[in-house]
Amino acid sequence: MQALEPGIVFWILAVVILVSGFLVVTLRNMFHCALCLILCLFAVAGIYVLLEAEFLAAAQVLIYVGAVAILIVFTVMLTSDLASESLIQHNENGTIAFVVCALFAIGVPYLIKNTGVWMPAKGELISDNVGSIGKYLMTDFMLPFELVSVLLLAALIGAIVLARKERS
Amino acid sequence: MEFQLPEYNLRMMLPEIFLFLWALVVFLFDLLSKRRSESAVGYLTLLGLLICGGLLATTGYGRGFGNMFFSEPMALFFKIIFLGSAFMAVGSSFGIIKQKIVNHRGEYFGLILLSTVGMMFLASSQELLSLWIGLELTTIPLFILAAFFKDDKLSVEAGIKYFVFGAFSSALLLYGFSFLYGMSGTTEIVAMKMNLAALFIANGSLGVVPLVAMVMIIAGLGFKLSLPPFHQWAPDVYEGSPTPIAAFLSVGSKAAGLVAFAKIFVNGLWAFWGAEMAPNDWGYLTGILACAAMIYGNVVAIRQTNIKRMLAYSSIAQAGYIMIGMVAVNEWGLEAVAFYVFAYLFANMGAFAIVAIVEDKTGSCQIGTYRGLSQSSPGLAACMAVFLLSLAGIPPLAGFLAKYKVFAAAISLAGQSQDYTWLYWLAGVGLLTTVFALYYYVNIIKQMYFSAEESPYRIKPNAPAVAVVAIGLIGVVLFGIYAEPILQFVKDIPAAAGVIPR
C-alpha cells in the first residue's frame, strides 16, 4: 500500500465534517441540528472508507446514521415542544468546555504523532478486513461476541421494563 | 479461509452459563404465573444462586475459549463474593417486592442475576475486550435496577445519574484500552505486557501514551469504585435506588471494579517490568485517590442525616482502605484486598439489609428513625451495632482483621523498599481517618441505645431478611475470630495472579 496522501476527497470530507459539526452545536432549531449530525456522521464514514476500513464505515452508517441519528430525529419529532422551540445552545460552562475540547483536539493527535512507539503490525495488511473480522468473531473472540448478546438481552428487558406503562 | 476453533472447554464456565439460564427461568416464571408469583420468584432466585455456588465449588481451575476465560483462585474467590452479595441483596428484597414492585418482580430478580453473570465473566477474563464487556454486563442491569421505582422521582434520578456517569466512565475506560491496543497490537493482558516490554527494550522508552492510557483507565475504574474525585454519583444513586440494589452496588459492583483494577494494574500491565522500566506511577496516582477517598468519605459521612447517604460515603471511604492494599504490591497486598472485600461483604450487606427492613416498616431512611430501636427491637439493633462496629474496624470482628491486614501490607512494603516509603503516609492517613469513621458509626449505635424515648416501631422482619442478617452476623463474627480457612484461601491469590514477591 502506498503512503497515504490526503487527496481532494479527504479535504472535502474534512470540511463537511467540521462545518456540519459546528452547525450541530450552534443552530437554533433542534431538527436542523439532528440533520447536520447525520451529515457529519456520514462524512466520518467516508473517512473510514478512505482508510480502507470498510467494516468500520458500514458499522458507522448502520449504527450512527441508521440507528442513533434516526432515533434522535424521532425523539425531536415526537416531543411536542422540541421541534418548534428555538434553542439556546450555550451555558456558563461554555468556556471551560471549549478549553477542554481544544486541549483534547490538539493533545491527542500530538501525542499519537510524537510517540512513535507502536507495535508494528505482524505480516501483511489484510485486504479482506470484513472477512477477517468475521473470522475472529467466530473463533478467538467468540466469548465476548456471545457475551454481547447477553448484554443486549439485559438492555432490551430493561428498556421494556422502564418504558412500559403500568396498569395498576 | 482457514478456521481454527479454540478449545471451548465449556465445563469451566458451567456456573456462569447456569446462572444465565436461571435468569431466563426467573423471567419466564414470573411471566407464566401471570405476575402473581409474589415471593416464590424470590425464593427461586435464591435457589439458583445456591446451585450456582455449588457448581462453582465443583468446577476447579482451568481455562476455556483459548485464552479468553480463566478460572483461577482470584476469579473463584471474587465469584464467591459476587454470588454472596447477590444472595444477600435478593434476600433483603422480599419487603419491597411485596409493597412496591408489583408488576416486574421477575425482571427485578432476573436483572440482578444477569448483573452477577457479568461480574463472574469479568472476574475470569484475562483480555481487555471481554473484561470490558463483562463490566458493561455488570452495570447496564444496575442502571435499570437503580431506576426500578418508576413513580419515585429520587429513584428515576438515581437511574439517570448512574447511567450518565456509568456510560461516561465506560467510554473513558474503552478509550484508555484503545491506546494500549494501538501500542501493543493485542488485547490479551499478558501478551500486551510482553509486547510493551519488548517495545520498551527496542526504543528505550514508551513515550507518554501508556501514561495517558493509565490515567484514563484509573478515571474509568475510579467511577466504578467511587473514588474521589469520581464519586459524585454515589450518594445520590444510593439514596434513590431500592435499598437492596444500593447494597448490591456498594459490594458487588465495587468488587467487580476491584477485580478489573487488579487484573489491569497489579498483575497486569504496569506490574513488574523491573524498577527502571515500570515507574510506579499508577501506585502514586491510586495512592492519592485512596487518600482522598478516606479523608473525604469519612469527613462528609459525619454530617449525613440519611442512613443510605451515610453508608454511601462510608463505602467511598472503605474503597479508599481497599486501595491501600491494592497499591501495596507485595505478596500481602492482593491477599489483604481479597480478605477486606470478603469482610466488607458481610458487614455492609448486613447493615443495608437492616436499613431495608427498617425502611419496609417505617418508609424512612433518616437516622432519627433508629432512635430507641434497642427497646422495641433489641435483636435488630444489636445486629446493626455489630455490623457498624465491623465496618469501623473494632476487634474481634472481621472488619478489624481486614483493616489490620491492609495496613500491615502497606507498612511491610514501606519497610522493605526505598521506593515505597510513602506508603507509611498512606497507612497513617488510613489509621487517622478510622477515628473519624468511628464517630459516625457509633453515632447510630448511640441513637439506638442511648435515647430516652422508645421507638414507636415494632419491627417484625420477614424470614429471608432475617436469614440475610444472620448470614452477615455469622460472617462478621466467625471470620473475625476464626479466619484461618479464608486466610489460607487468599494466600494462593497473589501467586496465581502472577505477583512476584519482592
Task: Check B104 against A140: CB less than 8 A apart.
Answer: no
B480, B397 Cβ separation under 8 angstroms: yes
What is the per-residue pLDDT for B502? Answer: 40
> How many Cα atoms sit within 13 Å of B485 on the Cβ side?
5
Q: What is the pTM of this model?
A: 0.92
Position A1 scores a pLDDT of 43
Contact yes or no for B296/B316 (Cβ under 8 A): yes
Query: Which residues are within 8 A (CB) of A53 and not within 5 positions of it... i.e. 6 or more apart?
Result: A129
User: What is the complex's ipTM, to 2 decimals?
Assistant: 0.88
At B398-442, the pLDDT tens digits run 999 999 999 999 998 888 877 778 889 999 999 999 988 999 999
B337 vs B208, B261, B471, CA distance in Å? 30, 11, 21
Please state, in angstroms and rounded to a whole number, the distance separating the CA atoms of residues B141 and B107: 10
The predicted pLDDT at position B277 comes to 47
User: Looking at the predicted structure, is the pLDDT value of residue B150 above 60?
Assistant: yes
The model's confidence at residue A132, banded by pLDDT at 50, 70 and 90, is: confident
Q: What is the mean pLDDT of residues A145-160?
A: 93
Q: DSSP characters for B140-180?
A: HHHHHHHT--TT-HHHHHHHHHHHHHHHHHHHHHHHHHHHH
Q: DSSP label at B226?
A: T
Of the candidates B134, B150, B205, the beta carbon closest to that of A147 is on: B134
By Cβ distance, the residue of B5, B186, B209 closest to A139 is B5
pLDDT band at B499 (very low <50, low <70, confident <90, very high): low
Name every chain B residue with its beta carbon within 8 A of the beta carbon of A166. Answer: 103, 150
Q: How far is B162 from chain A (nearest CA, A)?
A: 14
Neighbouring CB atoms inside 10 A of A138's CB total 12
Distance between first and last Cα of chain B: 47
* Ranges A69-78, A150-159, B128-137, B332-341: which has the least confidence: A69-78
Q: SS3 breakdown of chain A: % helix, strand, coil, rounded to 5?
A: 75, 0, 25
The answer, yes or no, to whether residue A118 has pLDDT greater than 90, is no
Q: Is A141 on the interface with B (CB under 8 A)?
A: yes
Q: Nearest by CB to B20, which of A150, A157, A162?
A: A150
What is residue B200's predicted lDDT score, i.e. its pLDDT? 79
pLDDT tens-place string over residues B219-254: 999 999 999 889 999 999 999 999 999 999 999 999
The minimum CA-CA distance between B490 and chain A, rounded to whole Å, is 28
Average pLDDT of chain B is: 88
C-beta of residue B131 within 8 angstroms of C-beta of residue B122 = yes
Alpha-carbon distance B17 to nearest alpha carbon in chain A (angstroms): 11
pLDDT (average), residues B463-470: 94
pLDDT digits (tens, 9 = 90+) for A27-61: 888 888 888 999 999 999 999 998 888 889 999 99
Provide the percentage of residues in chain B whose pLDDT is more than 70: 95
> Do residues B160 and B236 lie in contact, with contact meaning Cβ atoms separated by under 8 Å?
no
Contact partners, residue A94, CB within 8 Å, separation at least 6: none
> Distance between alpha carbon B361 and the CA centroid of its chain, in Å?
28
Question: What tens digit of pLDDT does each residue of B252-278 get?
Answer: 999 999 999 988 887 666 554 544 445
Identify the residue among A103, A104, A115, A133 best suited for mutation to test binding to B, counting B beta carbons within 10 A and taking the highest: A115
pLDDT in tens, B171-192: 999 999 998 888 888 888 888 8
Q: Identify the pLDDT of residue B355.
A: 94
The average pLDDT across B299-309 equals: 92
Higher-confidence residue of A34 and B5: namely: A34
In this predicted structure, what is the pLDDT of residue B501?
44
The average pLDDT across B6-20 equals 88
* pLDDT of B107 higher than 60: yes
Closest residue in A to B144 (Cα) is A158
- Choose the mutation target among A161, A164, A165, A168 for the interface with B, i.e. most B CBs under 10 Å: A161
Q: What percent of chain B has pLDDT over 90?
A: 56
Q: Which of A118, A120, A139 is opposite residue B6, by nearest beta carbon?
A: A139
User: With 0-12 CB in 10 A as exposed, 13-18 as middle and 19+ as buried, what is B418?
Assistant: exposed
d(CA B17, CA B101): 27
